[in-house]
Structure 1
């Protein structure tokens, strides 16, 4: 399946990291978070990507145009750097369509802008490009296909704890609970969509607002609930948490790291 990655947002909550780096290129360890997301899909056999660009589009284009196998593999260098031979396993052969969908468009508009790039796909994947998970994608897809619905999103528990207050019309508090005590699920930003999704999107609409509400009314939206690892990089604190996982070698979103963790 093709994978549509939304890479055009302004990323205002993490802009303090750098004004020159778009959010998808903010590094987690030695690689941008976008690379980690693409590696996840590549592991599951999905290597045809459509990137919806916007803010700092040229930076993302430059990253991929300048990327070389030797950046991500062991290599043998000779002739003063003019000869580079990759040793061992080479990086996956990704096909990447870099599509400038405009700076000010929302997610729904960006998806419509690349409609022609997925027109031959009965199903396709989509992602916000700022979150990591170890959800079993094949199982998620099989459950979705069996449901016969048009849309599916990954539903996860909030990774942070907050307090919820319940009160009556006069403002008197009747109950005070933590989020961990409640059955709360949020959108994890990993989507599987049938091509019929475009019948539910009208001009200027945000994907998970009006279109998803139409899917709900038609009983065509499914949530795949998952309580394993998931973390989004919404701000600098989130990046620090992911960075610390990488430094410890605990990267559940990467198959090789998962195997190492299990072996230990």
Structure 2
């Protein structure tokens, strides 16, 4: 399945970094969070990516155009440097489509602008570029495939009240938005979508606002409540949290290492 990644936001809450580079290129260890996210999908067999670019999209293009695996992987140096042999390859079998989706476009409009690159795909995935998880991805996909939903996503438990989710026992979303309570399940991305999603996203719509309300009315929106690891990188504090986890080797999102 193709994977659409939304990489065009301004990242204003991570201003310590996003004034100079786009948030998807903020490093965790030696590599950008975008690389970690793509590596996660690739581990599960999904290696055909569409990057929705916006703010400093040129830097994301340059990162991949100048990508040198030897800078972050083990390699063998011989013949005075005339022969370089990486011990392993990260991205050799990835296919990446780079699309300028506008500087100020919202998520729904970025998705609409890559529709032509999704022709022939009955289903595809989409995600924000600032959150990582150890979610068993293919189980998440299989749950969606067994349903007649148009869209699904994961929800995680938090004390925040942004994009809160209520659902019935079958996972069908019954309400979405600002909800009351002391602890919430919120939208954490990792969307699975059918082509029908484009029938619900109109010009100017934000994906998880008007389109999701239309899906809820038709009982076509599914949620997968996940209690495992999920962490966004939306602020400088969260960036430091990731750096500390990486420094001590506590990286649950690196599912490729476990196998």
TM score, norm. by length of structure 1: 0.86
Structure 2 regions of 5+ residues with no counterpart? 162-180
Match of 1:59 in 2: 59
Match of 2:228 in 1: 228
Match of 2:90 in 1: 91
Residues of 1 paired with 2:143 and 2:84: CA distance? 44
TM-superposition CA deviations, 1:27-52 (whole Å, max 9, x none): 01111000000011001000000000
Structure 1 regions of 5+ residues with no counterpart? 163-180, 260-264
- Alignment of structure 1 residues 233-244 onto 2, 5 Å: 233-244=233-244
The SS at the match of 1:20 is coil
- Alignment of structure 1 residues 163-242 onto 2, 5 Å: 182-242=182-242
Shift of 1:182: 4.3
Residues of 2 paired with 1:230 and 1:239: CA distance? 14
- Alignment of structure 1 residues 15-164 onto 2, 5 Å: 15-87=15-87, 89-92=88-91, 93-158=93-158
Shift of 1:82: 3.6
Q: Give the total of aligned pairs.
A: 240
Give the conservation status (yes or no) of the 8 Å contact 1:2–1:124. Answer: yes
The SS at the match of 1:185 is strand
TM-superposition CA deviations, 1:189-238 (whole Å, max 9, x none): 21110111000010011000001110000100000100000000010001
The SS at the match of 2:5 is strand
Residues of 1 paired with 2:211 and 2:82: CA distance? 53
Give the conservation status (yes or no) of the 8 Å contact 2:11–2:18. Answer: no
Shift of 1:21: 0.9
Give the conservation status (yes or no) of the 8 Å contact 1:249–1:257. Answer: no
Give the conservation status (yes or no) of the 8 Å contact 2:7–2:129. Answer: yes
Give the conservation status (yes or no) of the 8 Å contact 2:57–2:100. Answer: yes
TM-superposition CA deviations, 1:121-153 (whole Å, max 9, x none): 111010101000001111111111111110001
Q: CA RMSD in A?
A: 1.8
TM score, norm. by length of structure 2: 0.88
